[in-house]
Amino acid sequence: MSAPLYAINHDAGGRLWCGLAVVAAVTGTPTRAIVDKIQDLRGRPTDALGRAKPVEVIFPHEIKACLEAFGCEIVVEEVFSKPMPTFCQWRRSRGPGRDYAVVLVTGHYVAVSGRRFVDSRYRDWISPSDWPHQRARVRCVIYAKRAA
């Protein structure tokens, strides 16, 4: 049986960005807490008026730090160079995985666990084969599991 992906609790307001969505789906943490963690990692940058800058673009090292902070253990990180596999090719080569996979697909994060898939467009999980971007190229995969 695969690890569960949680429905996304988006309480931060504004647009739901893909990085926030995958961390929320894997950990079950509300997005406001994830935004706070990322702003802590970045040293709480502010704009010219002293307001906190919004968290939009999230980097792989920030995803890993958030997953670890909210109770996950990073198993391995896999980075692909050319030729990068398509999402469909990566899914087929992966086999039945029990761990969470945070996949960076051409600049967009998605979360996969077994036959469950979460994206910022879908607040709850869907089947990975239902995602319309099967030919998108996979750049990086972060495998994680819940700490015991």
pLDDT in tens, 40-49: 998 887 778 8
Output the pTM of the full model: 0.88
How does the average pLDDT of the chain come out, rounded? 88
Q: Which residues does the chain have with pLDDT short of 50? A: none
For the chain, percent of residues with pLDDT exceeding 70 = 96
Q: What pLDDT score does 66 carry?
A: 95
Q: What pLDDT score does 116 carry?
A: 87
Half-sphere exposure for 140 (CA within 13 Å, toward CB): 12
Q: What pLDDT score does 48 carry?
A: 81
Q: What pLDDT score does 148 carry?
A: 67
pLDDT in tens, 104-134: 998 899 999 888 889 888 777 888 888 889 9
Q: What pLDDT score does 98 carry?
A: 67
d(CA 33, CA 97): 28
Contacts of 8 (CB under 8 A, 6+ apart): 16, 21, 24, 25, 31, 118, 123, 124
